[in-house]
Amino acid sequence: MENASKWSRKDLIGIEELTREEIEIILEMAKSFKATIERSRKKVPTLRGKTIVNLFLEPSTRTRVAFEVAAKRLSADVVTVQGSSSSQVKGETLKDTALNIQALSADMIIMRHSAAGAPKYLSKYIDVPIINAGDGAHEHPTQALLDAFTLIERFGSLEGKRITILGDILFSRVARSNIWALTKLGAEVTLAGPSTLVPERFAKMGVHVCHDLKTSIKDADAVMLLRIQRERQTTTHFPSLGEYTALFGLNKKRLEWLKEDALIMHPGPINRGVEIDSDLADSGRSVILDQVTNGIAVRMGVMYLCMGVSENSLAEPLPL
């Protein structure tokens, strides 16, 4: 908690721009908040009187609900605006939408958008903090933070741990944010999947690239499976989902290729029977629902830190 005063960012746009120390400050805050939400009285008064707007212009279940629950645990008022019910459908620009939300007394905007760079663009025009809840195939910073938090809960540290991210890397903001987060925290990251979805150029990010399933997972301490994002693919990246499953799907038989204590992760939503079989997703090796739960504490930490900078109040820590 004492490190919170070192946090200096109003916005959280991506993990790429964060230092290891900044990532660790968020994870430390999340650990404190996880302890508070495990109490019988789960709410803290930290953001009482603040209004947080969830501007979700792309579908979401986990991220939207987790941000909403996190804001309510911090005693903030929450308003959710979704794409289909916003005036975006009448042709309003994103900038006008955000300026109007700010004029309606929002103290923070949580934003999901299909365009990479949308939160960064808005942060130039909006005074209140902007938190990126996923922008196109660019970044999903709070997902990577909750993934790192979940791994550190199990392993103590990520230093030297081998993490394989398997699936649709090319179109995945989760993969990009995780590559930055996990490597900065000392993990050895392997990206795996068909060469069309895992191009060799990703190796420039300081990771291994592998196109053979068995080789890619046999030494892993954790395997993070990703959904095939058909909605983002504009050309054919493989012949069929069936072929993908045959070559790269994780099933009971292939579980034997993994180390006995290797963890199975997935950011959700899962396409059961495509990238992972149900019996594995629901097995004791899976930490998928732990990831979801940890998303609340991580988002409380992010909102607390960014609001503190916006309010210039971290010199006097906000009450927990």
What is the distance between the alpha carbons of residues 284 and 243, in angstroms, rounded to a whole number? 27
Which one of 47-55, 164-172, 264-272, 310-318 is the stretch in contact with ligand CP (CB under 6 A)? Answer: 264-272
Rounded least distance, CB 246 to ligand CP, Å? 25
Which residue lies nearer to ligand CP by CB, 59 or 317? 59
CB atoms within 10 A of CB 158: 21
Rounded least distance, CB 248 to ligand CP, Å? 20
Which one of 70-78, 182-190, 239-247, 267-275 is the stretch in contact with ligand CP (CB under 6 A)? Answer: 267-275
What is the distance between the alpha carbons of residues 85 and 96, in angstroms, rounded to a whole number? 16
Q: Any contact of residue 80 with ligand CP (CB under 6 A)?
A: no
What is the distance between the alpha carbons of residues 112 and 140, in angstroms, rounded to a whole number? 9
Positions 117 through 136 that interact with ligand CP (CB under 6 A): 134
**Tokens encoding 300:** 């409380």
Which residue lies nearer to ligand CP by CB, 88 or 143? 143
- Cβ contact 5:125 at 8 Å: no
Which residue lies nearer to ligand CP by CB, 139 or 188? 139
Q: Any contact of residue 9 with ligand CP (CB under 6 A)?
A: no
* H-only helix segments in the chain: 20-37, 62-73, 94-103, 118-123, 141-155, 173-184, 213-217, 241-248, 252-255, 278-281, 288-310
What is the distance between the alpha carbons of residues 306 and 309, in angstroms, rounded to a whole number? 5
Nearest alpha carbon to residue 180 among 200, 195, 158: 158
Which residue lies nearer to ligand CP by CB, 60 or 293? 60
Q: Any contact of residue 143 with ligand CP (CB under 6 A)?
A: yes
Q: Any contact of residue 267 with ligand CP (CB under 6 A)?
A: yes
Instruction: Pick one of 114, 268, 270, 293: the residue that binds ligand CP (CB under 6 A).
Output: 268
Which residue lies nearer to ligand CP by CB, 11 or 58? 58
Rounded least distance, CB 267 to ligand CP, Å? 4
Rounded least distance, CB 277 to ligand CP, Å? 20
Q: Is the peptide bond before 269 cis (omega within 30 degrees of 0)?
A: yes
Sequence-ordered list of residues with C-beta below 8 angstroms from that of 225, at least 6 positions apart, any chain: 166, 167, 250, 264, 265, 266, 270, 275, 276
Positions 28 through 67 that interact with ligand CP (CB under 6 A): 60-64
Which one of 7-15, 29-37, 204-212, 263-271 is the stretch in contact with ligand CP (CB under 6 A)? Answer: 263-271
Rounded least distance, CB 173 to ligand CP, Å? 9
Q: Any contact of residue 14 with ligand CP (CB under 6 A)?
A: no
Which residue lies nearer to ligand CP by CB, 31 or 62? 62
What is the distance between the alpha carbons of residues 306 and 105, in angstroms, rounded to a whole number? 17
What is the distance between the alpha carbons of residues 207 and 215, in angstroms, rounded to a whole number? 15
What is the distance between the alpha carbons of residues 120 and 292, in angstroms, rounded to a whole number? 25
Give contact residues for ligand CP (rule: CB under 6 A): 60-64, 134, 140, 143, 267-269
